[in-house]
Amino acid sequence: MKKSTGLVLSAVLFFAVLLQAGGSSLLWEISGNGLASPSYLFGTIHIRDSWVFKLDRTLFDRMSACRTFASEIRFDDSFREKAVELMSLPGGRTLRDRFSPRDYRLIAVKLRQMTGFDIALFDRLKPVTLMALAVQQNMTNDTDLTLDEFLSKKAGEKGLELLGLETVEEQSETLTSLPDASVLRFFRQYDRATVRKYIAVMVETYCAGDVDALYSLGVESEEMDPDFTARVLTDRNVRLTGRMIAVMTDRPVFTAVGAAHLGGPGGMIDLLRNRGFTVLPVVAAVSQALGPSAGAEWTLHEFENRTISCLLPAEPEKVSTTVDSPGGPLQAVSYVLQPPAGGKVLAYGISCVEYPVADGSAFRGDKLDGLYDQATRNAALKVKGRIVSSRQVGDAGLAGRDCLIIYGGKSAIRLKIFFTGNRMVIFQVICAPGVRAGGDIDRFMDSVHVRRDRAEK
C-alpha cells in the first residue's frame, strides 16, 4: 500500500504540473489580483534562427488583445549604437590591459578557431563581448531580426505601444559585470564543437517550451560566476516583474522577455504568483489551440479506447508524457482544451495515468478513501491552494471524488478523480477568477464518464 501511495503522489505531481505547466509553456496568461483584463508573458530567445519562429496564431491573437508590448529593452533606431558604445572599454583601454600575455594569446587563438575573426577587431570592447561573439557565430543566423525584435516589430504593426522594461544602460551594466576569469574559463573549456552542442540543446529545449530547463542551462553553466548569474537572472527578474506589474495594473500588456527569466525558483512566474496573480499556461499547439467559438456546439468526445468520455465544445489537444515514480516510469496522457479568452473557463483537461497492475490492484475498497484524500491534498499543495469542498461521487457504480480547490485568492480548480483497475483518471476545469461553478463548468463535470475495467467487475 505504501508503494501505491507513492505512485499516487507522483501522479498528482504530474497533474499539478499540467495545471501550472511548471515549465512546459512559453506563453502564460496573467489574471486576478484586481486586473480588469488579462495580460500575457512570453518567453522569447535572442537569436536569429528561423527554427524558433514557428509561432502559433494563438500568440498573435493574445498580443492583439493587449494595448502595450513590453520587451527587455525598447528596440528603437538607436539601441544598437548605444549598446556598442556601452560595450566599449573606457579610457582608451584594450583587452591586452585586462589579460596576461599568455591568457590573451589563448583567447585570441580560440576566438579565431571558433569564429574566424582576429581578436584585434574587438580589442577595445569589454571581454564579455568575445563570449557573445563566439556563441553567436556558431548559431544558425538565417533571419534578419532576432525573435524578440521580430515580435516587437509585429506589435508595432498592430498599433501597440512599445515599451522597454529596462534601459540599454541597465542591461549593459549587468551583462558586462561578468568577471574576466569567467570569460577566460569559457575559452579554456569550450571549442567550436562544444559551443554548437550547447546551442543545439538550448534551441531544442526552447522549442519544447521548457522554461525550467532553460533556467537550469543558465545557472548550471560551469563558466558562469554565481554572483553574475544572480545579477543576470535573479535580480533582473525582480526588476522586470515589478515594472511589468506597474504597467499591467493600468492596461493589458504583452511582455516578451528571455525564456530563462520565466522558470526556476525566483523566476517571473513564481514572482507573479507570490504577488497574488493567477498565472496559467496558454495551450498553443496548432489550430486546435484557438478553441471553440462562442456559440460552439458541445459534442461527446471519447478517449482511451472509448473508456473515458465527456462533453466538450471542441476537439482537445493530446499530450503524452512519461512520469517518473518510485516504482519506475509511468505512462500518462492528457487531453487539454483552452476556450477563447473572456469566458468562465480557462481550460478543460482529462488526464489518465497508467500504473503497474500490481500497484493498481490496491485501488479498491476501504483503501481508496486514503488515496483520494492524499491526492486532493497534494493537488492543493502543488498550486498553493486550499480545498473548500470534497465529496464522494459515483459513475455507473465506480466510486470517485469531486473537489474544489481555491488558489491565488479568487481562482478555482474543479476536479473529479477516479481510480479504476490500474488507472487514475482526472477530469479538471481551471475556472476564471471569481468563478467556481455553473454554466459550462457544470456541463462538463456532469457529463464525465469512466468505464470500469473488466478486472473490477
Same domain, 145 and 94: yes
pLDDT of 225 reads: 60
Q: Which residue has the higher pLDDT, 176 or 356?
A: 176
Q: Is 143 exposed, middle or buried (0-12, 13-18, 19+ CB in 10 A)?
A: middle
Q: Give the cell for residue 220.
A: 548550471
Percent of the chain with pLDDT over 90: 29
Residue 423 reports pLDDT greater than 90: no
Residue 239 reports pLDDT greater than 70: yes
Same domain, 290 and 390: yes
Which one of 246, 281, 316 terminates a domain?
A: 281
Average pLDDT score over residue span 319-323: 70
Half-sphere exposure of 450 (CA within 13 A, CB side): 27
Give the helix/strand (H/E) hosting 4. helix 2-20
- Taking the complete model, does pTM exceed 0.75, yes or no? no
Q: For the chain, what is the mean pLDDT? A: 80
Instruction: Name the residue range of residue 153's domain.
Output: 27-281
Q: Which residue has the higher pLDDT, 4 or 203?
A: 203
Same domain, 266 and 292: no
Average pLDDT score over residue span 139-160: 92
Residue 156 reports pLDDT greater than 80: yes
Same domain, 299 and 263: no
Which one of 281, 316, 351 terminates a domain?
A: 281
Residue 456 reports pLDDT greater than 50: no
Same domain, 101 and 120: yes
Percent of the chain with pLDDT over 70: 81
Which span out of 255-264, 363-372, 445-454 was modeled with the highest average pLDDT?
Answer: 255-264
Same domain, 273 and 301: no
Same domain, 43 and 163: yes
Q: Give the cell for residue 326.
A: 518510485
pLDDT of 14 reads: 37
> Using CA atoms, how far apart are residues 55 and 43, in angstroms rounded to an integer?
12
Q: What is the pLDDT of residues 185-223, one digit of tens each?
A: 889 988 888 888 888 888 878 877 778 888 887 776 655
Same domain, 261 and 124: yes
Q: Give the cell for residue 305.
A: 479506447
Alpha-carbon distance values, 322 to 43, 239, 249, 328, 371 (Å):
24, 36, 39, 10, 21
pLDDT of 155 reads: 96
Average pLDDT score over residue span 427-435: 82
Total domains in the fold of the chain: 2
Whether the CB-CB separation of 269 and 281 falls below 8 Å is answered with: no
Which one of 247, 281, 315 terminates a domain?
A: 281
Same domain, 106 and 180: yes
Same domain, 271 and 336: no
Residue 30 reports pLDDT greater than 80: yes
Three-state DSSP at 396 gives: coil
Counting runs of H as helices and runs of E as strands, what totals does the chain give? 16, 16
Closest C-alpha to 336, from 354, 323, 318 = 318
Q: What is the pLDDT of residues 345-401, one digit of tens each?
A: 888 889 888 776 554 445 555 566 677 777 777 777 766 778 888 888 765 556 788
pLDDT of 413 reads: 86
Same domain, 412 and 298: yes
The secondary structure of the chain in percent helix, strand, coil, rounded to multiples of 5, reads 45, 25, 35
Q: What is the pLDDT of residues 54-98, one digit of tens each?
A: 777 788 989 999 999 999 999 887 777 777 788 889 888 999 999
* DSSP secondary structure, 261-310, as one string: GTSSTT-HHHHHHHTT-EEEE---SSGGGG---TTPPPEEEEETTTTEEE
Three-state DSSP at 233 gives: helix
* DSSP secondary structure, 156-210, as one string: HHTTPEEEESS-HHHHHHHHTTS-HHHHHHHHHH--HHHHHHHHHHHHHHHHTTB
* DSSP secondary structure, 121-149, as one string: GGTTB-THHHHHHHHHTTS---SSS-HHH
Whether the CB-CB separation of 143 and 50 falls below 8 Å is answered with: yes
Same domain, 332 and 254: no
pLDDT of 341 reads: 62
Whether the CB-CB separation of 428 and 334 falls below 8 Å is answered with: no
* Residue 323 CA, distance from chain mean position: 18
Residue 11 reports pLDDT greater than 90: no
Average pLDDT score over residue span 141-170: 93
